[in-house]
Amino acid sequence: LSSVGAAMRRPFVAANWKMHKTVAESVTYAHAVVPLVEAITDVDIVVAPPFLALPAMADALADSRIKVASQNVHAASHGAFTGEVSLEMLQGSGVTVVIIGHSERRQLFGETDAGVNAKTRATVGAGLTSIVCVGETLEEREANRTFDILDRQVRDGLAGLSPEQVATQVVAYEPVWAIGTGRNATPDQANEAHRHIRQQLVSQFGDSAAACRVIYGGSVKPGNVAELVGQSEVDGALVGGASLDPTSFSEIVAGSRSTAI
């Protein structure tokens, strides 16, 4: 089933800058990256700068095919939540995509599957695209618990969505042990995990959920992206450090086209 749908799943590549770049640096990047990727029309391209740079990035990328994403959001529409940002605020800044439940949010800031679900349901309900992050730690992988962890995170994180909604979202598989470590899952390991995630989606939501794109995050670089995205179940990449340089990121976008050919 999923291999049949693979040809229909358009590659999706997202740059997650984390806590890097000032507003001015972000705009400089935007102007540099647009001409590097403008000819690549068969890949969905997303950049997630820090909150402060979102409006300026949306302006700078307004005439391009690159969409602007937020690295986080609060599930509530408004309220006494000091330091938080709502979906309405993001939409007003030109954001159309939201990263939810990144492993750093889970590990460093205590985010739970229930919290991820609240954010995801709010994001999808507002008409934005969510990138829901899932993945196991090294300890969980060594204990042969990878599939159990992925099943729980997908099941609980996407609970309450309709099959039609799930089909239009993005799930990012990030093996926590491969993020920022220079290690990455082998293409076979990545494909196996992606296949399992898609099987869970279909089991939970029905066959239409096979259209949900599952992308890989974990030390993706220009040198390894084509082999990773060339796997039948890998639909793109969530890129951290290697996305901070526009040339490097454009090479990753170009390398992700292998699934579209």
Contact 226, 207 (CB under 8 A): no
Length of the chain: 261
Burial readout 90-127 (b: 16 or more C-beta within 10 A, e: otherwise): beebbbebbbbbbbbbbeeeebebebbbbbbbbbbebe
Separation of alpha carbons 261 and 259, rounded Å: 6
SS3 content of the chain, % helix, strand, coil (to 5): 50, 15, 35
Separation of alpha carbons 210 and 200, rounded Å: 10
Active site residue 102: yes
Helix (H) or strand (E) holding 93: none
Contact 157, 133 (CB under 8 A): no
Nearest in space to 173 (alpha carbons), one of 191, 158, 155: 191
Separation of alpha carbons 81 and 169, rounded Å: 27
- Phi, psi angles (nearest 5°) of residue 257: -75, -10
Cite the beta strand spans of 22-146 per DSSP E: 44-48, 67-70, 97-100, 129-134
Catalytic pick among 104, 111, 136, 174:
174
Active site residue 194: no
Catalytic pick among 74, 102, 194, 196:
102
Active site residues: 102, 174
